[in-house]
Amino acid sequence: MNEAQEDVLKPLVFRVDESTPRVVQSVLLERGWDKFDEQHQDVEDWNLYWRSSSFRMAEYVNIKPWQRLNHHPGTTNLTRKDCLAKHLAHMRRLYGESLYEFTPLTFVMPKDYTKFVAKYFKEKQDLGTKPSYWICKPAELSGGRGIIIFSDIRDLMFKGSYVVQKYICNPLLVGRYKCDLRIYVCVTGFKPLTIYMYQEGLVRFATEKFDLSNLEDYYSHLTNSSINKLGVSYQKIKEVVGHGCKWTLSRFFSYLRNWDVDDLLLRQKINHMVILTVLAMAPSVPVANNCFELFGFDILIDDNLKPWLLEVNYNPALTLDCSTDVSVKRSLVHDIIELVYLNGLRSEEKKSGRMSPGNSVVSLASSNQSELCTAPDSPSYASLIQFTTTTRTAGSKGNPSVQHLCPKHTRTSQLREMISRQSRLLAKEAAKSKPRHKARHSPRKMLSPHKAKGPAGILPEAGSTPNDHAGNFVLIFPFNKATFGASRNGLNVKRIIQELQKLMNK
Ligand code: ADP
């Protein structure tokens, strides 16, 4: 075996710091990756850097083609509660209230204090003796920290940046417990915009019964698991909910189906909401290559089955507190790696018709349940979102779960095999055109799509159609030919909104 062959068979290398969730490291090791060793490895000799804090601009600028970062610059525009509120308010002004009426009325403090006071007293007058409910949340904190729920303005206290929001006081209750959904969304690029939604997720429960007469009981009103796992009722078997404070999303949708709820419609509404939210900030995001961002969307469903966006989380928690966490989050991390690392290879394989047996994509184009993506002019998208809305199979123990249309590639051997197969092709091409650089300390350099015009590349080409799914991640944007076009060569938000409106009006 020559040096080049040895290089391409080397495991991929991940870089972490003390903030990286443990599950990320353990999944990567399980997949056969090596951990970056600063002492003994070249400073550029890594493929994925995953950490909680954002990266410095220099790190984005100096990124090498074989490297990936788990954050994109500028994404906190979406994840700070005040920035999110401002972006969504801007979109409401541009495209109309009705399109963006999925967030509760929000005031950014202290800027909107006077507006809030006026609204508060107006509502008080309209409601007469009935109370109105509000929630005040620090703009930058998470985990329910610093939150106050109030109906009397005299109880409002804030210091620094806060948002005050209409409190949704008619949440859908399971048993008699409030819950919200944690939806995982991975944006693999902002220019062109490419959004994937994870089909599994978490439902997080409050651990005390919902009770509007006691606004100070956080175990009844907040669904954060960091709070509820400390509650006295956490371990108790609660009506319908059972032990703990989490369900999988598939269990929740199955529960809804038992109540004759159209869960597909609910999923579609959530898809639209996610796209509209990401669109609100996408134009302001700087161009950066080789980055992806995992967002955690917190969505509350009210008793009219209307989903409300509460917030978008940066670094959604990947701690494993219970068996539900383990099953959802471990697969999530596996699928993220699939999505960001194997997408390019897989799409190249598809293009060249060399699908390996384990990679076959099952077309659902014949299914008749797709309303979300029915662009007749775009066969390649026809099966795409149908997958989002139609796949359900009997999972373990009869629980419906999200179907894996594509078997997982979790084994190192498979990963290396795919990479080395593609790399060998590239190596051949590179050898033909020019003398090879010494690659000992940059084993993936030859996989650079920029350097080699070969049939393979880790990243999909800029103009190529993104893969429709990876594991349980399903592409939700672009969703047809028109949106694909409108997201290239500058993001045409107006055009995209028109397409979305068509879809939503169907
Ligand atoms: P944090 O970042 O601190 O988790 P969130 O906005 O997610 O802040 O709010 C924490 C919890 O408070 C949510 O999970 C939800 O249970 C509840 N909550 C937040 N906003 C509202 C709202 N407008 N109406 C009803 N409940 C809310």
Decide if 246 contacts 322 (C-beta within 8 A): yes
Name the phi and psi angles at 206, rounded to 5: -75, 155
Q: Residue 219: which of 206, 229, 235 has the closest Cα?
A: 206
Query: CB of 331 closer than 6 A to ligand 1?
Result: no
pLDDT of 418:
53
Ligand 1 closest atom vs CA 166: 23
At 376-431, the pLDDT tens digits run: 333 344 333 333 333 333 333 333 333 333 333 434 434 443 553 354 345 445 44
* Average pLDDT rounded to a whole number, residues 320-341: 95
pLDDT of 402:
37
Decide if 204 contacts 245 (C-beta within 8 A): yes
Query: CB of 311 closer than 6 A to ligand 1?
Result: yes
pLDDT of 5:
63
Q: How far away, in angstroms, is 460 Cα from ligand 1 center?
A: 37
- 80, 81, 102, 137: which to mutate for ligand 1, most atoms within 8 A of CB? 137
| Cis peptide, bond prior to residue 192, ω within 30 of zero | yes
Decide if 233 contacts 219 (C-beta within 8 A): yes
At 61-114, the pLDDT tens digits run: 999 988 999 999 999 888 899 999 999 999 999 999 999 999 999 999 999 999
Q: How far away, in angstroms, is 271 Cα from ligand 1 center?
A: 20
> Per-residue b/e over 70-97, b at no fewer than 16 CB within 10 Å?
bbbbbbebbbbbbbbbbbbbebbeebee
Alpha helices for 163-238 (secondary structure H) = 218-221, 225-228
User: Across the strands, what pairs with 293?
Assistant: 187
Residue with tokens 């709820």: 261
Can you read off the two tokens belonging to residue 177? 């417990």
Query: CB of 456 closer than 6 A to ligand 1?
Result: no
Strands 34-35 and 13-16: parallel
Cα 310 from Cα 61, distance rounded (Å)? 33
Can you read off the two tokens belonging to residue 228? 């509820």
What angle separates helix 412-433 from helix 343-351, to the nearest 10 degrees?
A: 70
* Average pLDDT rounded to a whole number, residues 431-447: 36
DSSP result, 69-116:
ES--TTTHHHHSHHHHHHHHHHHHHHH-TTTTTTS--EEEETTTHHHH
HSE, side-chain direction, 13 A CA sphere, residue 320: 16
Cα 10 from Cα 416, distance rounded (Å)? 8
- 81, 83, 135, 164: which to mutate for ligand 1, most atoms within 8 A of CB? 135
Q: pLDDT band at residue 193, thresholds of 50, 70 and 90?
A: very high
DSSP strand E in 291-399: where?
Answer: 293-301, 307-314, 393-394
- 300, 306, 308, 309: which to mutate for ligand 1, most atoms within 8 A of CB? 300
Q: How far away, in angstroms, is 310 Cα from ligand 1 center?
A: 6
Cα 200 from Cα 196, distance rounded (Å)? 12
Query: CB of 455 closer than 6 A to ligand 1?
Result: no
Decide if 471 contacts 339 (C-beta within 8 A): yes
Shortest-distance Cα residue to atom 23 of ligand 1: 167
Q: How far away, in angstroms, is 370 Cα from ligand 1 center?
A: 31
Lowest-confidence pick of 24-28, 105-109, 124-128, 178-182: 124-128
Query: CB of 315 closer than 6 A to ligand 1?
Result: no
